[in-house]
């Protein structure tokens, strides 16, 4: 939850904010891969979610590194057959969580965390560490498992239109009201991202300078509070708009979900 961002040009708040805004905007609008005619795209969203969930569960249950490796190979093959460029897929899946997990797993290879059969002794900054077989195996298992599960989760989100993905939750007994709330939240994300971007632009155009480090905290708090006030007002307006269209509190879908979808 912490970022060691450089303060070289002093605009760290704006940069980090706009990066997040841009990520949300693109993630909510960018459905290029979901629109392609690949293998995963051809599957019904409900079946796809179930399959991926079972594969993730298998990856979590498996204790054999080779079998997890096979599962990861299957995931990459599915990405290829789904017309997802493999470099893009690897970067998208490996950069964050698996890389972070690798850093987390490194201390686990030493005897202080995982006692057992010593494989090698190393000296770092005058400290002697003993790498154990058990430590290496548990660290490798953790990283392999996380890489596979993250890749599978990203695969389903890349190859499915998000609206269809949410709709298919109903196949698994998720109440319609929850699906409706999740769908609505998802649509608001884009709106909020635009709102945050506009606030940044407005401040920059009026103030014309970067925000000093000390005032940054107040700037952030003011923005969050301001967005809350606006969203609170918006929820009332949205509710009234829904009421005027005949909403009674019980969500009804115009599209029926077919059993084979």
Partner 1 sequence: MALHLNLFSSPFFIEQDLNMHIPDGYLSPATCGVLGAVMLPIWTVASKIVKKTLRARQVPYLAIGAAFSFVIMMFNVPIPGGSTGHAVGGVLIAILLGPWAACIAMTVALVVQALLFGDGGITAIGANCFNMAFVLPFVGYGVYKLMGVGSPIGSKRRVFASGVGAYVGICTAATVAGIELGLQPILFHTANGQALYCPYGIKTSISVMAGGNLLVFGWIEVLVTVLVFKYLQKIKDSSLFLLGKKMVDKKND
Residues between 82 and 141 that touch partner 1 (CB under 8 A): 88, 91-93, 95-97, 100-101, 105, 107-108, 113-117, 134-135, 137-139, 141
**The pair of three-digit structure tokens given for residue 44, joined into one six-digit string:** 């019904």
Nearest approach in angstroms of CB 34 to partner 1 is 11
* 181 vs 253 by CB, closer to partner 1: 181
Asked if residue 213 binds partner 1 (CB under 8 A), the reply is yes
Q: Give the span between the Cα atoms of 157 and 152, in whole angstroms.
A: 9
Asked if residue 59 binds partner 1 (CB under 8 A), the reply is yes
Packed helices 176-207 and 12-29: angle between N→C axes, nearest 10 degrees? 140
Positions 65 through 84 that interact with partner 1 (CB under 8 A): none
Q: Give the span between the Cα atoms of 198 and 190, in whole angstroms.
A: 12
Identify the residue among 248, 252, 254, 259 touching partner 1 (CB under 8 A): 248
- Residue 58 burial (C-beta neighbours within 10 Å; 0-12, 13-18, 19+): middle
Identify the residue among 41, 75, 158, 167 touching partner 1 (CB under 8 A): 158
* 80 vs 94 by CB, closer to partner 1: 94
Identify the CA nearest to 135 among candidates 163, 156, 106.
Answer: 106
Identify the CA nearest to 30 among candidates 198, 162, 184, 193.
Answer: 162
* 18 vs 80 by CB, closer to partner 1: 18
Identify the residue among 86, 172, 228, 253 touching partner 1 (CB under 8 A): 228
* 95 vs 122 by CB, closer to partner 1: 95
In a 3-state reduction of DSSP, which class is residue 118?
strand
Residues in contact with partner 1, total (CB under 8 A)?
108
> b vs e for 135-151, b when ≥16 Cβ sit within 10 Å of the residue's Cβ?
bbbbbbbbbbbbbbbbb
* 117 vs 121 by CB, closer to partner 1: 117
Positions 165 through 194 that interact with partner 1 (CB under 8 A): 165-166, 169, 175, 177-178, 180-182, 184-186, 188-189, 191-193
If DSSP states are collapsed to H, E and C, what string results for 168-195? HHHHHCCCHHHHHHHHHHHHHHHHHHHH
Q: Give the span between the Cα atoms of 70 and 58, in whole angstroms.
A: 12
Positions 34 through 53 that interact with partner 1 (CB under 8 A): 52-53
Please say whether the beta carbons of 22 and 196 come within 8 A.
no
Asked if residue 149 binds partner 1 (CB under 8 A), the reply is yes
Identify the residue among 5, 35, 121, 253 touching partner 1 (CB under 8 A): 5
Beta bridge partners of 120: 131
> Quick one: which segment of 36-44, 72-80, 119-127, 162-170 binds partner 1 (CB under 8 A)?
162-170
């Amino acid at each position: 939850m912490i970022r060691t961002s450089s303060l070289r040009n002093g605009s760290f708040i704006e940069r980090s904010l706009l990066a997040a805004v841009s990520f949300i905007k693109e993630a909510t609008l960018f459905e290029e891969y979901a629109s392609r005619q690949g293998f995963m795209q051809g599957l019904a969203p409900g079946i796809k979610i179930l399959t991926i969930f079972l594969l993730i569960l298998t990856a979590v249950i498996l204790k054999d590194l080779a079998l997890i490796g096979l599962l990861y190979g299957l995931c990459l093959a599915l990405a290829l057959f789904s017309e997802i460029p493999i470099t893009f897929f690897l970067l998208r899946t490996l950069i964050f969580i698996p890389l972070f997990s690798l850093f987390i797993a490194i201390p686990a290879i030493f005897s202080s965390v995982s006692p057992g059969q010593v494989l090698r002794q190393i000296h770092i900054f005058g400290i002697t560490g003993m790498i154990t077989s058990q430590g290496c195996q548990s660290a490798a298992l953790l990283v392999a498992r996380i890489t596979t599960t993250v890749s599978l989760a990203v695969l389903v989100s890349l190859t499915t239109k998000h609206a269809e993905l949410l709709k298919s939750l109903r196949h698994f007994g998720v109440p319609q009201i929850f699906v409706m709330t999740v769908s609505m939240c998802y649509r608001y994300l884009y709106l909020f991202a635009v709102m945050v971007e506009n606030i940044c632009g407005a401040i920059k155009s009026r103030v014309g300078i970067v925000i000093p480090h000390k005032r940054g905290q107040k700037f952030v708090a003011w923005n969050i509070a301001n967005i809350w006030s606006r969203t609170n007002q918006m929820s009332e307006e949205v509710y009234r708009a829904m009421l005027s269209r005949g909403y009674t509190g019980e969500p009804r879908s115009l599209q029926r979900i077919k059993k084979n979808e």
